[in-house]
């Protein structure tokens, strides 16, 4: 099939590359010429394990191309995926300007029936707005004879495992209209996703608004589990319980399961924070208060300060003359995404308290430099207090303590004796509970976890 992907960001590039990999002819459009130039030269503007190989192999096979030519993009694909950004507006609602601009271009240039797929995470009712914009452009051209149907096909990709998630989906949600155009669109989508349904049927067909809602509902549930466990972890520290034992005790219940029950420094990234804000805004616009989700967001904001609260409790509020090693910058492993990353809160608090930081991350240093320049626009001189190490152990040299923010595999099994001999004082603040407190204590390390201080 001929497919057009509008937007070569995280969702668009993964979707385009993976659809090309199963034999489709994919045209990826972006209005950013810099990004397209990088892709044409064989580069990847984001970090995602395995994605570069998929892109390169399909470019070489002639199944995947990149362009800034809007008219050519609309002409190419019988299915038009809108995969542009939906950043949060000032009031927390999703900003649809890029989605509607893409829809407007489709209406402006289409010459045949099009299946228009909302792949971006969008509020309930967006398909109606996309349809209205396309229809308006067709009316301007006097081409109301041209048919189209807007489909909701939300993505459920985890950063760091997106290629595998796309190629081995646990579900494919398709929301379509109950009319002739909708049925034609559904037939096209079933044909497109047929290779993923060979072992068993993964497609869930529903109305458009339910499909739009499903994405927000999924992220809201996962974020709720994280904030719920983080609140329990903080209570565990107070009452003398071990949150890891609690996690095993409740996770073994098949109604609950183990996923997303790890205590830590809070969630970040491009999805959970944005989607929780958008969903609570949708509720307010419809006269409802989602009290649970508002609490989820509040708990998460507070959780990002838990590590620094522990640091201040140990060293005092003035950290002048103190040096800290920081392991992990990205909001999660296997990505360079710094959006809403807890490390930004930790770095901000430490630098403003006078500390020096030597940070390490396998991937995210370049992106960290960019976002910290924005975070410290009011006090750029503070950035002189942070430097970056090429390996984790180098970051420890002369450190008053080690702070772990991201659970990269490289940090899972440190040499405790070397850690002790390299640091000024063997103190670890573990924001991801990577280590067993008893093992660290036996090795002579003062250990502060999240919800594990009783161990």
What is the percent of the chain where pLDDT is above 70? 100
φ/ψ of 309, rounded to 5, equals -60, -40
Identify the pLDDT of residue 65. Answer: 97
165-190 pLDDT, tens per residue? Answer: 999 999 999 999 999 999 999 999 99
- Mean of all residue pLDDT scores within the chain: 95
Identify the pLDDT of residue 455. Answer: 56
**Is pLDDT at 94 greater than 90 in this prediction?**
no
Query: Cβ(195)–Cβ(167) under 8 Å?
Result: no
Mean pLDDT calculated for residue range 152-167: 95
With cut-offs at 50, 70 and 90, classify the pLDDT of residue 198. confident
pTM attached to this predicted model: 0.90
Taking the domain 2-205, which CATH number applies? 3.40.50.720
Q: How many CB atoms lie within 10 A of CB 311?
A: 24
With cut-offs at 50, 70 and 90, classify the pLDDT of residue 200. confident
**Is pLDDT at 454 greater than 70 in this prediction?**
no
Least Cα distance to 101 among 127, 126, 73, 133 occurs for 133
Mean pLDDT calculated for residue range 309-323: 97
368-405 pLDDT, tens per residue? Answer: 999 999 999 999 999 999 999 999 999 999 999 999 99
What is the percent of the chain where pLDDT is above 90? 95
CA distance 234 to 262: 12
φ/ψ of 427, rounded to 5, equals -125, 130
227-448: CATH class:
alpha beta
Q: Which of the pair, 86 or 68, is modelled with greater confidence?
A: 68
CA distance 401 to 203: 50
Q: Please, what is the angle between helix 208-239 and helix 291-303, to 10°?
A: 50
28 is a catalytic site residue = no
With cut-offs at 50, 70 and 90, classify the pLDDT of residue 91. confident
Ramachandran area for residue 339 (φ above 0: left; ψ -120 to 50: alpha; else beta): beta
Identify the pLDDT of residue 27. Answer: 98
CATH 3.40.50.720 domain locations along the chain: 2-205, 227-448
With cut-offs at 50, 70 and 90, classify the pLDDT of residue 270. confident
From the candidates 55, 110, 185, 271, which is the catalytic residue? 271
106-149 pLDDT, tens per residue? Answer: 999 999 999 999 998 899 999 999 999 999 999 999 999 999 99
SS3 124: coil
CA distance 106 to 127: 14
Query: What tokens were used for 260?
Result: 């997303």
Please count the CA atoms within 13 angstroms of the CA of 237 that sit on its side-chain side.
Answer: 16
SS3 430: strand
Q: Bridge partners of 99?
A: none
Burial of 255 (0-12, 13-18, 19+ CB in 10 A): exposed
202-237 pLDDT, tens per residue? Answer: 999 999 999 999 999 999 999 999 999 999 999 999
């Amino acid at each position: 099939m001929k497919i057009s992907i509008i937007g070569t960001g995280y969702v668009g590039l993964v979707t385009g590359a993976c659809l090309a990999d199963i034999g489709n002819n994919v045209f990826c459009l972006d209005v950013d010429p810099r990004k397209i130039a990088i892709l044409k030269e064989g580069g990847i503007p984001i970090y995602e394990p395995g994605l570069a190989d998929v892109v390169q192999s399909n470019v070489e096979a002639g199944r995947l191309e990149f362009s800034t030519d809007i008219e050519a993009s609309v002409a190419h694909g019988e299915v038009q995926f809108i995969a542009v950004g939906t950043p949060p507006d000032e009031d927390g609602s999703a900003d649809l300007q890029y989605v509607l601009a893409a829809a407007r271009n489709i209406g402006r240039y289409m010459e045949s029936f099009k299946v228009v797929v909302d792949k971006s995470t969008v509020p309930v009712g967006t398909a109606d707005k996309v349809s209205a914009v396309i229809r308006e452009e067709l009316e301007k051209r006097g081409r109301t004879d041209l048919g189209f149907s807007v489909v909701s096909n939300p993505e459920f990709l985890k950063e760091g495992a997106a290629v595998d998630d796309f190629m081995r989906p646990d579900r494919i949600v398709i929301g379509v209209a109950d009319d002739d155009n909708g049925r034609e669109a559904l037939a096209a989508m079933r044909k497109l996703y047929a290779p993923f349904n060979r072992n068993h049927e993964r497609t869930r067909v529903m109305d458009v608004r339910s499909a739009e809602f499903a994405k927000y509902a999924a992220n809201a549930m996962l974020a709720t589990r994280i904030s719920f466990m983080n609140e329990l972890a903080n209570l565990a520290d107070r009452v003398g319980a071990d949150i890891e034992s609690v996690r095993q005790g409740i996770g073994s219940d098949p109604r609950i399961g183990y996923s997303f029950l790890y205590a830590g420094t809070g969630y970040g990234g491009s999805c959970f924070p944005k989607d929780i804000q958008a969903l609570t805004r949708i509720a307010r616009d419809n006269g409802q208060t989602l009290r649970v989700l508002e609490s989820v967001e509040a708990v998460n904001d507070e959780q990002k300060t838990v590590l620094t609260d522990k640091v201040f409790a140990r060293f005092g509020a003035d950290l002048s003359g103190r040096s800290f090693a920081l392991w992990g910058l990205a909001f999660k492993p296997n990505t360079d995404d710094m959006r809403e990353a807890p490390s930004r809160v930790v770095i901000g608090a430490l630098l403003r308290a006078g500390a020096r930081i030597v940070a390490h991350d396998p991937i995210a240093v370049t992106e960290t430099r960019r976002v910290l320049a924005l975070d410290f626009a009011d006090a750029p001189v503070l950035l002189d207090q942070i430097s970056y190490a090429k390996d984790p152990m180098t970051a420890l040299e002369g450190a008053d303590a080690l702070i772990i923010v991201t659970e990269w595999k490289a940090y899972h099994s440190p040499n405790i004796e070397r850690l002790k001999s390299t640091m000024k004082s063997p103190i670890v603040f573990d924001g991801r509970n990577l280590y067993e407190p008893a093992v660290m204590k036996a090795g002579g390390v003062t250990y502060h976890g999240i919800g594990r201080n009783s161990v």
